[in-house]
Structure 1
Amino acid sequence: MSDHRRMHLGLTIWPTGFHPAAWRLPGSFSDGNFNPVMLRHAAQTAERGVFDFFFIGDRLVGLTDSQFANPNEVLRPEALTFASHIAAVTERIGLITTVNTTYSDPYNVARATATIDHLSGGRVGLNIVTGKNVEAARNFGRDQHWDNDRRYDWAAEYIEVLQLLWDSWEDDARVADASTGRFVDPDRVHQIGYRGEFFTVDGPLNIERPVQGRLPIINAGASERSRELGAKFSDLRFTNSSTLGLAGARTYYADLKSRLAAYGRAPDEQLIIPGVAVYVEETDQEAQEQYSTLQELLVTGPGGRARLSEALGADLSGHADEARLTDIIDVAALPASAGDLVASAASLYGTDDLTVAQVTAALVRGAMFKEVVGSPARVADILEEWFSTGAADGFMIFPPRVPYHIERFVDLVVPELQRRGLHRREYTGTTLRDHLGLPRPASTFARATAEATP
């Protein structure tokens, strides 16, 4: 593997565990969202694993109906505050924090994120989301959650304002000349004079230009508008393409990369990072046992069984959870997609003798992100194949149990990736842009000043 291309790794923190039943096991945390010791340990463990970044998601509503499918949607720490805390207890790992553009103001966000970038030494990136919950609209005095087009039109202007505000102080605007008392050069501090459909912002920001110049922008989403927003602005695209299978993920990767040229960007100017849930132990059998233990605690409800019936083309509603699938249907006669589903479940559990409940749980969990279960070598084989064949530039790792699976990944998989030359052994840069291999952009206003100078 060439030294010029290494796998980018991020850790996303779902503090009760990515698996919704993880908090029920001994050693896990039901208070993970607000447990400073656990959160600090998680970030520092990822830093010990030389991860590029620690990813902090956010949500503006707490829906108790989500407690069985995703308890992390019920309680969530505010992401900018959380990022500030993690910046203070780490030294090198990047920090990607989330902002919902539909329900926030770009001036305040530009100011807060520039501040955190300075305080962290240039380690912050900004994940842009537009939201999906009507309940959020009602928390912000609106009757309706905007449709997709309006949210993305708004988000595009929002990002433009952010970037201009970050640029509004040129890098050398603070001259601090003690002999004359001249503190700033006003010719290098700029009003942005933004006049758009949604935003009117004069500027300048009252924070110096961030250490990284502009914070790296991240976005996700599979809609056409999301893909185009990402092609124009995003330095990193977080995807769920791992659910599409290897061939589908390659097609998705190629589509995202192909869109960059329309915005004057090269393919290597944007990283494609799918999410992967990893259950790893010393042996395949031990990992499969861990997977099975969590899956047995999963509450799927009647909706899960209905989804399995649809996927297999057979009514399973009248069968008990413990019924053997092979006693009900002829697995060998299933269509290709249904057969692949059963085969994938057998691989995850490590057995062909599957119950209806087991296949249901595998279907429900696998719909979010690809699940990888096995020894360090098996996990590394899968990640390497995706990385080396045009499906991913790296991965967002989802630990099913926190902090247990963070520690297992760092202690077991990271050394294997390093041995293969796929992952760095130490940080070679200090900023998130350094970790991601992204250059520091010049200020829009500095370029204009230079072009206007005779």
Structure 2
Amino acid sequence: MSDTDRQLHLGWSIWPTGFHAAGWRLPEAEVNGTYNPRFLQRMARTAERGKLDFYFIGDRVVGLPEWQHERPNQVTRPEALTVAANVAAVTEHIGIVATVNTTYSDPYSLARSMAMLDHLSEGRAGWNIVTGLDEQAAKNFSRDKHWDNERRYDWADEFVEVASRLWDSWEDDAFVADKASGRFVDEAKIHRVDHKGEFFSVAGPLNIGRPPQGRVPLVHAGSSERSREFGAKYADIRFTMASDLDVAQRQYADLKGRLARYGRPRDAQKILPGLAVYVAETPAAAHAKYREIQDLATLAPDAAPLSGALGEDVSGRPLDVPLGELLDLASVPEAGQRIVARARLAYGEEDITLLDLVRYTRLGGGHREVVGDAKGVADFMEQWLLDGAADGFVLFPPYLPGTLEQFTDLVVPELQRRGLHRKEYTTRTFREFFGLPRPLSSFAAPAGSEALA
């Protein structure tokens, strides 16, 4: 494995009220970060100080007040493109990934906004493509119902093709600005796209010059079969969700194995699982913080959903009793034993209670949680990289600002010492961070080379 292959790709996902449902209740946590431009900028600069690859801005087009106990971070979400422009102005190197939902957008507006963001950031923009899961979103956009998975991906597939053609509609040297001759642009190098498809009819050209990166890098997540194929065709970066090493390895192999049928090499796409990190100077301090946050949860505890994994009905069992006193843990099915083992690692205790397990499964957001000192966190990340489970991680902050600052000050130096993370930014654009070639405009390329790079 080369030195470059050994380096992790790391993104930071901004959750202004914290990824954990109770993180915002900590005395040191930011509560109103969603609406605080200086806080959002500070987090971007801190991530850049840690030499991370990108600052990821999630988004959702619906948020309901009844979610406040299980996912308060989804009740309010900052609009991604606005935040992206805000942080682009105060950073110089870090990539900026903005989420835009294709189901409730149109290709021309998206292509225009992303092209402008790429210019404002000087080649650091990325687009996270989502199709949306929330049924409630439809009525926010004058629709009777939310489309099913197949229709959403049919729409998204054509959407990406149109957006990419719009980015290509200006060739790289179309802007002339020759004051002596008065020639502003080379008209022969600005092209109508004249797309007429199943969903979209778009004339073009875009009224913004070609993005500095040529085309903005594409990011995608999702576990459905259709999502996996969509990602294999288009995505430069794939977000994944996996809690166990062997599951992550199978997922990694599956996603990489799909690229060839779209004419893409295995290194054309990087696989980045989500990872929630609790780090402190000592393992004991990290586990204490994890326990403090878990105990602040206001979610009504319900053990019933754990019954299947644990192999027996636990819905009426006392919540404050250690698991070993409630169950014969040796007889628990393998899936349940894995959950218990991960929960024990997170709490740093063997005698966790049923309530601890309920909170572990309900409040972790489905992503792996790693709790420990810098060495322990780095050990975990290095193992997943070297064992073919990940090319890096998207880091989820349980609360802010502390978890980003602690990762930057404690884990980053340990990763750098091991040669797993850059010490300085040595390339300029977001594409270059991931070793992606800059594609030619499909209008300028030779015949037969119009497929997406």
| Same fold at TM > 0.5 | yes
CA–CA distance in structure 2, aligned partners of residues 367 and 30 of structure 1: 19
- 5 Å matches for 1:31-430? 31-240=32-241, 242-243=242-243, 245-302=244-301, 304-366=302-364, 368-430=366-428
Q: TM-score, normalised by structure 1?
A: 0.96
Greater share of residues in helix: 1
Please, which runs of 5 or more residues in structure 2 have no aligned partner?
none
Percent identity of the aligned residues?
55
The amino acid of 2:269's aligned partner reads Q
- CA deviations 1:201-254 (Å, max 9, x no partner) are 1100010000000000111101011011111111111111x22x1111111111
Q: Residue 366 of structure 1: CA displacement?
A: 4.2
Q: Residue 4 of structure 1: CA displacement?
A: 2.1
Please, which runs of 5 or more residues in structure 1 have no aligned partner?
none
Q: 4+ residue stretches of structure 1 with deviation over 4 A?
A: 448-451
CA–CA distance in structure 2, aligned partners of residues 101 and 236 of structure 1: 17
Q: TM-score, normalised by structure 2?
A: 0.96
Q: Residue 400 of structure 1: CA displacement?
A: 0.6
The amino acid of 2:440's aligned partner reads A
Tell me the SS of whatever aligns to 1:360.
Answer: helix
The amino acid of 1:438's aligned partner reads L
The amino acid of 1:425's aligned partner reads K
- CA deviations 1:170-189 (Å, max 9, x no partner) are 00001222221111111100
Contact 1:300 1:360 (C-alpha < 8 Å) held by counterparts = no
Q: Residue 66 of structure 1: CA displacement?
A: 1.1
CA–CA distance in structure 1, aligned partners of residues 13 and 205 of structure 2: 33
Contact 2:70 2:363 (C-alpha < 8 Å) held by counterparts = no
Contact 2:343 2:360 (C-alpha < 8 Å) held by counterparts = yes
Q: Residue 449 of structure 1: CA displacement?
A: 8.2
The amino acid of 1:198's aligned partner reads F
What's the RMSD between the two structures over aligned residues? 1.5
The amino acid of 1:417's aligned partner reads L
The amino acid of 2:438's aligned partner reads R
Contact 2:123 2:211 (C-alpha < 8 Å) held by counterparts = yes
Q: Residue 298 of structure 1: CA displacement?
A: 1.9
User: Equivalent residue for 1:439?
Assistant: 437
Q: Residue 367 of structure 1: CA displacement?
A: 5.6
CA–CA distance in structure 2, aligned partners of residues 315 and 137 of structure 1: 37
CA–CA distance in structure 2, aligned partners of residues 110 and 288 of structure 1: 45
Contact 1:288 1:374 (C-alpha < 8 Å) held by counterparts = yes
CA–CA distance in structure 1, aligned partners of residues 213 and 42 of structure 2: 26
Tell me the SS of whatever aligns to 1:444.
Answer: coil
Contact 1:21 1:298 (C-alpha < 8 Å) held by counterparts = yes
Contact 1:46 1:410 (C-alpha < 8 Å) held by counterparts = yes
- CA deviations 1:25-45 (Å, max 9, x no partner) are 112122121112221111111
CA–CA distance in structure 2, aligned partners of residues 383 and 365 of structure 1: 22
CA–CA distance in structure 2, aligned partners of residues 45 and 158 of structure 1: 34
The amino acid of 1:423's aligned partner reads H
CA–CA distance in structure 2, aligned partners of residues 90 and 204 of structure 1: 30
CA–CA distance in structure 2, aligned partners of residues 107 and 351 of structure 1: 53
